[in-house]
Every structure is written in C-alpha cells, then in structure tokens.
Structure 1
Amino acid sequence: MLRPMSGMISLEDVRLFAAVAHHLSFVEAARRTGVPTSTVSRRVAQLEEALGVRLLQRTSRRVGLTGEGARLIERAGPLLDELGSVLDRAADREDEPAGRLRVTAPVMTGAQRIAPALFSFAAQHPRLSLELTLTNAVVPLVEEGIDLAFRAGPVQDADLVARRLWSLPYALAASPRLVKDALRGRSRLARASLGSVPAVLSHPGAAWRLRRRDGSIEEVRPRAQLCVNDPRVAIAAAAQGLGVVCAPREVIEQQGKALVELTITGRTVEPRELFAVYPSRRLLSTRVRLAIDWVMKHR
C-alpha cells in the first residue's frame, strides 16, 4: 500500500511515471514525452521517494510495474487523461486551434485524401503542430497519445467515439495480361470462380466482402498469389499481372489501362466506411473537432 508522503508530489513526475508505465520503457517514455531518459529516471525515483514505495521493478532487460505502481496508474491514468483534455481546451481558442495534433490514418486513404486535407488545415492554423502517421495497423489511441484516428469501419471499441465520414467504393481489378491468360479474356466472373482466382491480398487469409442483390454480405477467400501489407504495392503487383486486387475504385481508375475492373455476376464489392475516431473518455478539443470538420469539407 502507499505510505504517507515524505515530500511534495509533482504532477510532472506522475505524468512521466505514467508514460513509463504505459510503455514499460524509460527510453520509449523519454521519446514520447521529449524529456531526456536520465531526467525521466530521476523524476520517477523522486516520485517513489515522495510516496515512500517502489512503483517500478527495474532490471537490465526490462521494466515492470509493482503492485503499488499498478494501483497508482489505475487510479491516476484516467485523471491525467481528463486533465490533459482540459488543458488542451484551455490552450485552444475557438477561432484559432493551437498545440500538438497527433493523427493516424490508413496508408492509401491517408496519402490520397486525409493528408492533403490536414496539410491545408495546418497551413490555415500556424499555431498548430501536426504529427501524421500513415499505418494500416490499429493503433491504441490512449496508450500512444493519439488525438484522432481515421479508420475503416466497423469500429466496435466501446472506449472510442466513431464519427462516420464517407463511404469509399471498392472494386476488383486485374492487369489486361492476367484477364487474357488466367481469366480467358473475361472481365465478368461467376461468383463460384472467385475462390480459384490468383489474388494479391493484404495478409494471408484475407477475404473479399461482396454484397448480394438482396443486400446481404458474404465473404470470399481467394487463392493468394501474393501477400503485401501496403495497398499501393498491392496495386502495383496487380498491374504487373500477379493477381486480382481489391482496391478503391478511384485508385483503380487512376491506373488507366494498367488495370481492368472486374465485375461479379449478382454481386458488388462492399464499399468501405471511413470513420473519424477519438477516445470517448477525453473531451473533444477544439483542434480535433475543427480538424474533423475540415477533412469532411476538403476531402
């Protein structure tokens, strides 16, 4: 249990301890907070001395939470999040957002739609500092200190608020050579043939979501010829004749004659819904709200 305090508690010490606790690394906590590693270590030790307990177990290979450390982060973590949100709102003027805005977005949609909109948003608001990470991984927002994420739906995390932005039409496509050689010159395929079509997938076992005429959804698992986690590379591979790719229709159209759109008898490819996502336990800061509205307007 926590003992009587032997000194003054610094809120900054608690914040740095929380960063170490989230990442179980002094080095990573230092990188995330912009504070030197030696300072992080000293401030955490200072907090332990003030509380009279050991909060972290340190070895040459790893950092772990003690029971007291786990209890402190369980109680203090939500309060720090709330305080951060309050300070964020205090730093924002209603007409001039300020401070750091950390955003993640999918690689392809992020590069083509989200990034240009956010760049123009940042240009309009010089007091804003923008950090944009393009990744198809589902990043834990609170743990990574992310203010806003753009994600394909459905979003089922109860700890997140998801605001639908738009629907992005998807289609199947292949190179003219693959259509000629593997598909016997046909760009319209029967549903039953899809399982044997060579495909370029985002990961092993990935499925194509198709909508039937009655509105129901089915998943098709094609034969993977190539797996690659970057959709831009997947489209390039499809253009080289390595397989059928499922991609945004607008991107397929941008390839010109390099790709031929395929249709499936009685089916259409399910569109992807894009959402703006942020932690539900944080107040929505002015800069996040305005960024979402800007992306909606300028996408």
Structure 2
Amino acid sequence: MAPVSIDDLRVVVAVAEHGSFVLAARHTRVPTSTVSRAVARFEDAAGVRLFQRNSRKVSLTAEGAMLLERAAPLLEEMDRLVEGLAGEEASISGRLRVTAPTMSGSRPIAAALMSFAEAHPKVTVELSLTNAVVDLLEEGFDLAFRAGPVHGADLVARRVWSVPYALGASPAFVEKELARRKKLDRAALESLPAIAARPDTVWRFRRDDNGVTTIRPRIRFCVSDLRVGIDAAARGLGIVGAARHELLAAGLVLLEPKADVGRPEARELYAVYPSRRLLPKRVALAIDWVARALRDAER
C-alpha cells in the first residue's frame, strides 16, 4: 500500500463526518476541488473505496465507516498530544454545557461526566436531560449526545456508542399473557400491549439478509421518559423496547422476535457539536472521555 497523507486523512474524515464534500470544504477551509482530490489520493493510496457518491448525497462504504470510527479519535488524540506537550491539559477550565437523552443521559453518560468533572476540577459541568432536539447554538450548548441519524449542516456528529436494544416484559406478563412464550411472531408483536416513549413509535428489526422490518406496536402506556416506561413494564403493563442492559437491570424477561422479523436494531449514539475549525479543548476531552467510558461499560 502506498503511503497515505495525514492531511488527506483529515479531509477524508471531514467528508465522512459531514456527509458532504461541500460542507467538508467549508469546515477545512479549502476549495471543494481540493477536497475531491484529497479523497481520491487517499482512496488510491489505501486501495479501497471509502464513499458512495451520487448527485444528492455522499455515504460511507463499510471500509469508510471503519476508517471514520478508528481514525477520527486518533486524529483528535494526536492534536491534543501536540497541544499538551506544554502541560496544558491539566489546566483546562470553563463551563461545559451538555444535553443528552433522559435514559442514556441519566445513567452511563451522566456517570462518565461525573468522573470527567472529578478529573478536571476547573471545569463546571451542566447536564440537561431531554429527549427534545435542541438548537445547540441558540441554547448555548457545547455538546449534545443524540441517537442517530443526526441532521444539520452546521453540526458535526461522531458516533460514540452502539447501544444494543431488546424487547422485554415482566415475568408475570410472560406467564399470564404469553403462556411462557419468549419467541414472538409479527402478529403477536403488533397485537400485544406495548409501552413506548411516543405515540408514533415504530420498532425496527434487522434481519439476517440485512433488511429491516418495521412494526407499529399497540401502545397501551405512553411516557416520554423510558425509565418510567421500564417501570411500567415491570408492573406488567406490556412489552417495552429499550437498551438491553436497562431491561436486564430492571429484572425484565428478554423477548426474542422470530427469525423472519429479525433482531431489534441497535441505537447509534452520537456526540454532536457545532461545526468549528477548532473545538474547545474541554469539549474535545469530554467527548473522548465519555466515548471511552461507554466502550468500557460494554466489556
């Protein structure tokens, strides 16, 4: 494989993060033609195609997604190593305003930010838990954690966690309503009482052929905070879809859709921040800190 250029890699990562050659050009402050040439050089040197392109959008190939996941954190870490040669990292300070979903924000993300605050006593952390998609610039937030897909030309999104999802119900519900069955077909999933965060909730399942099955459940209890939804499921009110570890922690029984339905689709969690040329150090460090904590929690 021919040598690759770090500068070209930075451009490739910018295209991957923004999903657009034009937006990547704005972010890196170079002409769009320069971005195109840098991507072409990198693909030639690596010997793989990183992007699928058409007239409307740019999407990652499997190799491109792998490169983004591995290279983006390495580039950020390299930048911080250079900045930290003079011992600056220990002196980071200021206010860090973060918004996150109620479920993941109240538990793994909050725990990670608490340990981040302990390690950096000069940083003041403000965490706002909401399932609403807030305007980061208008509301003055430095950082958001959001389930994908993430939209917004003025935003950068970095995937930090793939959250395994599952369906669960109380042991009493399984005994009474399912006659101890744990494997359910589509008809059962559509007709059984369900608990969800929104009236228009749709459950998504990934099949072995990589296709997607969508099911609109019969919602019996709707609550915006899925922590409450899990409590409702524990009381036998119905089936709930949520992070697998949250269901197990609540003592719920995991339900298995039949093969033709597929497996509950994982939720991709992204760190989202306003597009800037230089991200404040406290924000960049916080993203890395939370990403590591979430990865470690899976082990």
TM (normalized to structure 2)? 0.66
Shift, 1:113, TM fit: 0.7
Is 2:253 aligned against 1:260? Answer: yes
User: Structure 1 residues 101-110 or 179-188, which shifts more?
Assistant: 179-188
Assess if the C-alpha contact under 8 Å between 1:93 and 1:286 holds in 2: no
What amino acid maps onto 2:168 in structure 1?
A
Distance in structure 1 (CA, Å) of the matches to 2:292 and 2:201:
32
Superposed counterparts of 1:229-248, under 5 Å: 229-248=224-243
Is 2:157 aligned against 1:162? Answer: yes
Is 2:122 aligned against 1:122? Answer: no
What amino acid maps onto 2:167 in structure 1?
L
Is 2:105 aligned against 1:105? Answer: no
Structure 2 stretches of 5 or more lacking a match?
A: 1-82, 295-299
Assess if the C-alpha contact under 8 Å between 1:201 and 1:234 holds in 2: yes
Structure 1 stretches of 5 or more lacking a match?
A: 1-88
Corresponding residue number in structure 2 for 1:295 = 290
Structure 1 counterpart SS, 2:150:
coil
Pick one of 142, 159, 174 that aligns with 1:147: 142
Distance in structure 2 (CA, Å) of the matches to 1:214 and 1:239:
33
Distance in structure 2 (CA, Å) of the matches to 1:189 and 1:145:
45
Structure 2 counterpart SS, 1:178:
helix
4+ long deviations beyond 4 Å = none
Root mean square deviation of aligned Cα: 1.7
Shift, 1:192, TM fit: 2.7
Corresponding residue number in structure 2 for 1:205 = 200
Shift, 1:122, TM fit: 1.1
User: Structure 1 residues 107-116 or 92-101, which shifts more?
Assistant: 92-101
Cα deviations across residues 39-64 of structure 1 (Å, max 9, x unaligned)? xxxxxxxxxxxxxxxxxxxxxxxxxx
What amino acid maps onto 2:169 in structure 1?
A
What amino acid maps onto 1:262 in structure 2?
L
TM (normalized to structure 1)? 0.66
Alignment coverage as a number of residue pairs: 207
Assess if the C-alpha contact under 8 Å between 1:228 and 1:234 holds in 2: yes
Assess if the C-alpha contact under 8 Å between 1:169 and 1:248 holds in 2: yes
What amino acid maps onto 2:190 in structure 1?
G
Structure 2 counterpart SS, 1:121:
helix
Distance in structure 1 (CA, Å) of the matches to 2:122 and 2:159:
28
Cα deviations across residues 248-271 of structure 1 (Å, max 9, x unaligned)? 111111123xx1110011110000
